Chains A and B, each alone.
Chain A
């Protein structure tokens, strides 16, 4: 093979290449199409199945053959589907960023202790809060909002600690260990609270830890969307820096990256993404760790200019899919979200990783 052919081959893998761009775009478009289909199904299917044309009618004119369908679609399923998209995308993107930042395939959005902080906040309100018990155990709208507030404050406090630590510590590995230690510390407190609490309060707390996309009301959608979109914009701008970080912080620095500034941006972005989602949906697990692996396998790339949008789109798909399955369409049963994501997702990820054998490639070792 001549040097020219070799070059045309390599250049086609470079972002300027025409064929390369097209193949990537096709895959991204397929994921976008997946979102549209799953979004439509999420609006149509549930305990009551509504025909698709009626769903479209509700969305366009606000009317339907049965009046109850209007409120089901507009008040229950639409906010839920939008929440699933936002949360799925946010968790996946922050999971990818954390995996690259820590060069660790097990990292996810909660590695910095965000869910631990949120759990502590909710644990304190639900398990230890005497005056608020009426609100919480009633799990009405007020209860949901209180839980969101407690989770937000807890997550924000945890992040404050991590941000202060991120400015002081020299390397990311220390930050990783700090996050894990912080998680152990808060779960110990929660365990103690549970040990001394009444069973029904423990039940409420456990309900929260299952995670859910359906507790978000239309009015709560605004802060959720604002936080997630701000986080996505922030992390989207980090693609180039994340690529440099693939070689480790030392090399990134010699290539002109201000590692300290980027570290702060990464932690802030993850805080916005995972913190906002945890506040409104509880600690939704698995998606954030699994989707980046699926994206790497699908796109066979470590380039964050591809992986970031890919994770956003696939995360939204997975979020919608999990929400759909948790509904068990046609039945009135709703499964706990975290059980669904892990029960169906874990085998898929295991299969993909075993088939591709590229985990060690992507992370060394």
Chain B
């Protein structure tokens, strides 16, 4: 039986070991509830899904009351088709909720203009981008879009913010290089830096580890936790890396495809049982503790 062990390549974060889930002390702000006060991201009786026509609606999940605090790193888990992307897109304001509300810093996301929203919330999508001949620096500077004037002129303050964002992901050496000549892992770092340059309070990432190799995946997850702490930003990332998520995230959200989201750590029996149920397939049982599949 082979056990997947992430290997960490030498990186600025090499001194940051993968913390076993049990050692994580919950941040004092962490808490669940319907109240929007104090949370960077909160949902109120949110229903997500698609409404292709007036008569037909496909609800993916409903009655969601979820919260993420600033500085917290949450991983969204779930099998394919459970609706992770739909939930993320709704939280990002890229698609309208079927019912309920998404609050960012206590204000309704859909009441904000696109520009106001971009100052509070940044998104990293799964799709690959081809931004022409932009350098890493120029790409990260695009994140200043909601802050700059109509001509996009970059002020001293903007340069500082871009520097901070580049430093936060440890991509100083990538800044002068042409973006499309970089590897997938390097590009992903810069895309995250671009999101951070928006100076958001909430950072949403849709499968940020999708195109990366094992060490890069582990590095990125640690980086996301680091970013949440240093930027005091609520970070929510969907991922299929169950074990990495369990080890690096403060909290897990599980979408098991039955219309709800279970939130908690592996110590919570509801989440533990949910994970085991959601990822077991006929013939193989998923063991959340070891992160492995075993013969039934």
Chain A: residues with CB nearer than 8 A to chain B? Answer: 3, 6-7, 9-11, 13-16, 103, 237, 239-240, 243-244, 246-248, 250-251, 253-258, 296, 300-303, 305, 358, 361-365
A296 closest partner in B (C-beta): B133
**Contact call B114/A13, Cβ cutoff below 8 A:** no
A15-B153, A240-B151, A362-B132 in contact; A255/B198 too (CB < 8 A)? yes
A254-B122, A256-B115 in contact; A14/B132 too (CB < 8 A)? no
> Cα distance A199–B118 when bound, in Å?
60
**Contact call B180/A14, Cβ cutoff below 8 A:** no
Q: Quote the shortest CB–CB distance from B128 to chain A (angstroms).
A: 8
> Cα distance A240–B94 when bound, in Å?
21
A14-B154, A254-B118, A305-B152 in contact; A7/B133 too (CB < 8 A)? no
Q: Quote the shortest CB–CB distance from B115 to chain A (angstroms).
A: 4
Produce 1/0 per residue, B51-94, CB < 8 A to A. Answer: 00000000000000000000000000000000000000000101
> Cα distance A163–B190 when bound, in Å?
36
Interface locus among B137-145, B240-248, B267-275, B286-294: B137-145
**Contact call B129/A10, Cβ cutoff below 8 A:** no
> Cα distance A301–B128 when bound, in Å?
20
Report chain B residues within 8 Å CB of A15.
153-154
Report chain A residues within 8 Å CB of B128.
364
B198 closest partner in A (C-beta): A255
> Cα distance A257–B148 when bound, in Å?
12
**Contact call A257/B138, Cβ cutoff below 8 A:** no
Picked from A243, A253, A361, the residue with its CB within 8 Å of the CB of B94 is A253
25 A–B contacts, CB within 8 A, in A order: A7-B163, A7-B172, A9-B176, A10-B135, A10-B176, A13-B138, A14-B159, A15-B153, A15-B154, A16-B159, A246-B131, A246-B142, A248-B127, A253-B94, A254-B125, A256-B145, A257-B114, A258-B113, A302-B133, A303-B134, A303-B138, A361-B178, A361-B180, A362-B133, A363-B132
B163 closest partner in A (C-beta): A7
A6-B173, A254-B123, A255-B142 in contact; A300/B129 too (CB < 8 A)? no
B44 proximal to A (CB < 8 A): no
Report chain B residues within 8 Å CB of A103.
130
- Please tell me the size bucket of the interface on B: 35 or more
Which B residues, 102 to 134, have Cβ-Cβ distances below 8 Å to chain A? 113-119, 121-123, 125, 127-134
> Cα distance A237–B149 when bound, in Å?
11
Report chain A residues within 8 Å CB of B148.
240
Report chain A residues within 8 Å CB of B129.
246-248, 251, 364
> Cα distance A11–B142 when bound, in Å?
14
Report chain B residues within 8 Å CB of A243.
142, 145, 152
Report chain B residues within 8 Å CB of A300.
133
Q: Quote the shortest CB–CB distance from A279 to chain B (angstroms).
A: 30
**Contact call B172/A239, Cβ cutoff below 8 A:** no
**Contact call A244/B145, Cβ cutoff below 8 A:** yes
A364 closest partner in B (C-beta): B130
**Contact call A256/B138, Cβ cutoff below 8 A:** no
Q: Quote the shortest CB–CB distance from A245 to chain B (angstroms).
A: 10
A248-B127, A305-B152 in contact; A13/B134 too (CB < 8 A)? no
> Cα distance A6–B135 when bound, in Å?
13
Q: Quote the shortest CB–CB distance from B176 to chain A (angstroms).
A: 5
